[in-house]
Structure 1
């Protein structure tokens, strides 16, 4: 994509306005929580402390709107503490000549590294930089720094208190995540009717797993209908694939295929009904097609082809599918402990409390502390941009110079598309917000109390428009800051002009810095592909190991599946971001063209899908071991790991040793008495080899590295 096309798309994305709004009740709750701390502080301590309290309340309230599955109370408290610390340190440093820019650079670097924990942590950490920049402009002495920091934390505590006393949709995020997983299964079942080898989108299942990881408090208070359903969904996915696939499921044509299509359609409607019930919290309503799910077998002696039975592996898959769907419906309907604690639900996933996260947070940050890490590069870029914007405003001696680094901090993101679209939206939203709010101040001259009320109202507007678009939300944020800082004396027209100019300076520096020191996802596609290949190989090896050693390795299968799913999701996200980048794909991918990457991605996807089909027919613990399965699994794990390394260093990808071992193993299985397990193992392993052969072909025409 050319620079012109990339910038055009970024401008369109940044200025796009969506009509959807956040929950009005939650927006009102956030504004009320801010008012509860702003007005008493204004009455008791004056405008300066009230500004600190308002900043803390607003940012803590924003944290409760982030896509997180932790209790909203803990998010508000954590954000309030972070804001209090940043404010206190900022006040201490601003009184020491030359200390504040150093602190700002270090704090911005830490905020950038917070992206290694997750997007929510990165966004909230960036806001602490902006709060530090705003509140330290207020004239206070060092002894009162602790008081201002405490007021910021008090704003977070106010949000936490109101969330506790006024719960709204407490489990909405978990419901949405679980419902999205069942909705994706319904879409998957319909796609399988058209394409028997279709792939499922891993994102809803990754999100559902995160949503099901609970703190001890959440585990005790979780609604009964949210227990066990995710485990059922995880088992439905491979069962659908096994039923639809013509090699290990229903025949490609004929009455058996017609019956499989009928079951897939009925399963899709049932899962849609489950998704609606979970999403709304209303009772499950059985669709008209549900009776079809009970007709997995019919009279084998009838001459009517429409009454033909499903046989073999297809019959077993159909029975398993109907059993799982009945279990899901029973779990949602009865909500009794016998159902929800069944083995299908699996062990509970535990999320440690925030105060116990320090070791894992430090480990995550340490893993990203390397020069080639995208998070590390973002942290360095953010630190440099914020500090440079701050110094540029100081050199130009512009009033309210903090607005430039504030803009830079809020614009910068780890990828190109978000950074440029937010930059455009920030400029447009700031111009509109500052112009409108300044006009109000100039025309009506609101006093302290009315200015505080308008600031709180625009806080609620910012909460309400979080989903509407960044430009609209930025207009609300700019207006609330204008009214909030309007509590201090100053010329509103000059202030508005300076803020617009400083927004141009900060945003321009941020966009120019990303253009000069980019982190292109295009150059990382080969690395993401290699990670997925290695993870898919481990997944296939773990499933085949269970065929050789029934009853062992169940946890390994689950862990390998999650790793493969995460790796595929990261590759898909990287491809989406790469498509929006203004760089040529050729010359950015080490020895692989983008076309080869796409073909190789399809081959690795077939490897994962072949494993899913075998997982749907895992033998029970009491089954006899399948000879040679463990040896083939070990060779598959090693071969895919070596191939992943070859993708990164430019060596040839080949699977000659694995192919030779497969020929011997397949001949050994052919000599054994026929059985369902042997049939599945032979068909699945052949599909694995076919996928790896496609991978060889896709990467065969390697480009010679420049300078070789």
Structure 2
């Protein structure tokens, strides 16, 4: 090697050493997402108008509190469907009002305040595990309690919760202005988008793009069902337009089931098939119906093409039928989820008996207790910002605690620079209105780009509102940065490094459960339960659809868990990257199972029970191996069977998945 080559090697090594870690680069890379212009406009109006009213009435502090309440509404203004916006904004505002009331009552009470906030943190953490709306509600319960306990509120005690709630309700009112004109457009758009995703999936059959398209279909289905079923819970008619929309959504499932069979066949489908599905998407989006469902399609030549042809003609008939009833799904024959009291009872039981719920609640309570104890013993300016930082960093559904702590510190530093310029150069008074009208829209615009960007957008807004309340000007900048760094440090040490929760517990068990679900799916698809009606329609087919949807939803959650783990430093990130191929392999196993079942439904000979049992045993052993972090030592037999049989592709996928958990592979992790 010459001197030039050695110099180049040294230069490359030095550059690699100085380069930021991959997990940090991934966190700082802005996501590709469209800017929510409507939400940005609502944020500008909702947060600037209260300041106008406050200045006009000579009550600027009141206007700042209303604007602070509007800030929480802006953060929660993410739902597409109007009815979901009511839940996403109004319910958290109620919990926020309770939180600020409790915080106000213990303001200046020393260790009593520490104990009360720690208890609120426990409750907040536990209810956050119920779902997305409950998570935001738990967040606001704790956030507002911390603010009420750390910031002197106007008397009497009810004034602060009223003002904060007015801000959130103002955001809600703005977000619902178009409801009378566009009441069902979001749901219809979600169903149409699902048809569009299914068309892309069929167009990608037999090509390398299939995997990505299938993930997009899963996300589109999950989103559409969440929107439609949430509204269906309050719709009791058999002939409403929502019933028809649910029927149109349900008949996408046979198309999605037929796609794996077409993909495994290896040859692309005729262009007329995805084009026909896109025409159905346009029909759904326009709300049309009652037209001609006849399709001009090429004659199918294989069982997989026959499956696509039958599913497409069935979907066309339902889309153009104004009186279609939805196939049975969920908890109710008409497609409605269970009654609210039943779901509330289930959620309460899950919270009280869930180990994960208690584990997160205790972790959040520990960190909040430490933060409040620290600021009680050591004078810290604006000390409530420490607990606020911990609350945001430790949110269970917001991503990796480690990466969020680092990204919040970086985002706060960037936001402080902007906030310092505002506090130093912009005179207080009516100029605050113009500044807020410019800064507020950046919150929804940058939130979709990533957590660091959201933090950078929120920080100058918080500084401006704090200055209106306290008139401390530039003196707020350093405490804001210092308190955020202290909060990030407590979250990193007590909520991450010292917390007895391993990577395997957070990810391995969920992946193992998904493998077990795949084994159940194989057994049901080809066992006696799956043969009751020849694999066709009826209860058995509906049960298979439910199982398949549940598996893919679970795998989507597993993907999210892995993506969070990938943003953490070694060894967690390295282990997650090593196990990632198994997630993909399990998805392919489910696809191959569905494809085989579809082929049997359309004329292929069914597999032998012994062959199905052998595949199921392999999957059970694989799940046990993932759970115990050991290799598959008890299941070593090779899968055998007819190489031309219907399960041949499934055996290949199971063999490939088993290779990922082989002894050599595991030692490499």
Alignment of 1:271-286 (within 5 A): 271-272=277-278, 274-275=280-281, 281=286
Aligned length: 633
**Paired residue for 2:273?**
267
Instruction: Indicate conservation of the 8 Å contact 2:95/2:141, yes or no.
Output: yes
Following the alignment from structure 2 to structure 1, what is the Cα–Cα distance between the partners of residues 116 and 573?
Answer: 41
CA contact (8 A) 1:91 1:145 kept: yes
1:210 aligned to 2:226? yes
User: In the alignment, which residue of structure 2 is the partner of 1:648?
Assistant: 627
Counterparts in 2 of 1:99-178, with a 5 A limit? 99-119=112-132, 121-140=134-153, 144-167=156-179, 174=187, 177-178=190-191
In structure 2, how many angstroms separate the alpha carbons of the residues matched to 1:424 and 1:632? 51
SS of alignment partner, residue 389 of structure 1: helix
Q: Which of the numbers 28, 33, 39 marks the counterpart of 1:26?
A: 39
Contact 1:74–1:354 under 8 Å retained in 2 = no
Say if 2:107 is the partner of 1:97: no
DSSP 3-state at the match of 2:382 = coil
Output the CA distance in 2 between the equivalents of 1:540 and 1:356.
31
Post-superposition offset of 1:175: 5.1
Counterparts of 1:483-562 in structure 2 under 5 Å?
483-513=464-494, 514-517=496-499, 519=501, 521=503, 524-544=506-526, 545=528, 548-550=531-533, 553-562=540-549
Quote how far apart the aligned CAs of 1:540 are: 1.6
2:339 is the alignment partner of 1:358: no
Q: Cα gap change, 1:177/1:654 in structure 2, threshold over 3 Å: closer, same or farther?
A: farther
8 Å contact 1:21–1:466 — kept in the other structure?
no
> In the TM superposition, what whole-angstrom CA distance separates every residue of 1:255-287 from its partner, at most 9, and x where no partner exists?
xx5xxx342x33234445555676x75989x9x
| Aligned-pair Cα RMSD in Å | 4.5
State which of 317, 331, 334 in structure 1 corresponds to 2:307.
317
Q: Following the alignment from structure 1 to structure 2, what is the Cα–Cα distance between the partners of residues 324 and 533?
A: 32
Partner of 1:306: none
Q: Distance in 2 between matches of 1:522 and 1:14?
A: 22
Counterpart residue number, 2:408: 426
1:390–1:405 Cα contact (<8 Å) kept: yes
Which one of 295, 302, 311 corresponds to residue 298 of structure 2? 295
For residue 573 of structure 1, what is the aligned residue in structure 2? Answer: 560
What CA distance in whole angstroms lies between the structure 2 residues aligned with 1:296 and 1:465? 50
| Contact 2:103/2:147 (<8 A) preserved | no
Shift of 1:85: 0.4
| Alpha-carbon distance between aligned partners in 2 of 1:463 and 1:241, rounded to the nearest angstrom | 38
Distance change (3 Å), C-alpha of 1:391 and 1:44: farther
- Residues of 2 paired with 1:106 and 1:90: CA distance? 12
Query: Cα offset for 1:526?
Result: 3.7
Aligned to 1:239: 258
How far, CA to CA, are the matches of 1:190 and 1:174 in structure 2?
25
Q: Distance in 2 between matches of 1:610 and 1:356?
A: 36
Q: Unpaired runs of 5+ in structure 1?
A: 247-251, 298-309, 667-678
Contact 2:147–2:384 (Cα < 8 Å) also in 1: yes
- Residue 582 of structure 1 pairs with residue 569 of structure 2: yes
| Structure 2: distance between partners of 1:274 and 1:421 | 43
Match of 1:341 in 2: 325
Structure 2 equivalent of residue 701 of structure 1: 663
Structure 1 distance, partners of 2:372, 2:81, is: 32
Could you report, residue by residue, the CA deviation over 1:524-574 in whole angstroms, capped at 9, with x for unpaired residues?
544233212211111122222355321552333123212322332233333
Answer whether contact 1:541 1:633 (CA < 8 A) is retained.
Answer: yes
Tell me if structure 2 keeps the 8 A contact 1:232–1:344. Answer: no
Q: Is the 8 A contact 2:23 2:566 kept in 1?
A: no
1:236 CA displacement: 0.4
Q: CA deviation at 1:416?
A: 10
Q: Deviations over 1:136-160 (max 9, x none)?
A: 444348x722332233333333333
Contact 2:104 2:152 in 1 (8 A): no
**Equivalents in 2 of 1:586, 1:151: separation in Å?**
44
Query: What's the offset of the Cα at 1:451?
Result: 3.7
* Counterparts in 2 of 1:39 and 1:489: CA distance versus 1, 3 Å: same
Identify the residue that residue 9 of structure 2 maps to in structure 1: none
Partner residue in 1 for 2:13: none
Residues 1:387 and 2:369 aligned together: yes
Name which of 52, 55, 65 aligns with 2:68. Answer: 55
Contact 1:206 1:565 in 2 (8 A): no
Distance 1:391 1:451 in 2: 35
The residue aligned with 1:249 is none
Distance 1:205 1:148, change over 3 A: same
Change (3 A) 1:384 1:42: farther
The answer as to 2:77 corresponding to 1:64 is yes
Unaligned runs of 5+ in 2: 1-15
Aligned-partner Cα distance in 1 for 2:22–2:182: 35
Counterpart among 384, 403, 411 of residue 402 in structure 1:
384
CA 1:484–1:613: 2 relative to 1, 3 Å: same
Asked if the contact 1:174/1:211 (under 8 Å) is kept, the reply is yes
Query: Which of 646, 654, 666 is 1:684 aligned to?
Result: 646
Instruction: Tell me, yes or no, if the aligned pair for 1:240 and 1:321 is still in contact at 8 Å.
Output: no
Cα 1:353–1:508 change in 2 (3 A) is: farther
Residue 72 (structure 1) shift = 1.0
Q: Cα distance, 1:376 vs. partner?
A: 4.8
Q: SS in structure 2 opposite 1:337?
A: coil
8 Å CA contact retained: 1:76, 1:160: yes
Q: Deviations over 1:409-431 (max 9, x none)?
A: 22334489644444444334434
* Secondary structure in structure 2 of the residue aligned to 1:94: coil
Q: Is the 8 A contact 2:97 2:165 kept in 1?
A: yes
Question: Displacement of 1:40 after TM fit?
Answer: 5.1
* Contact preservation (8 Å) 2:559, 2:583: no
- What secondary structure is seen at the aligned counterpart in 1 of 2:469? coil
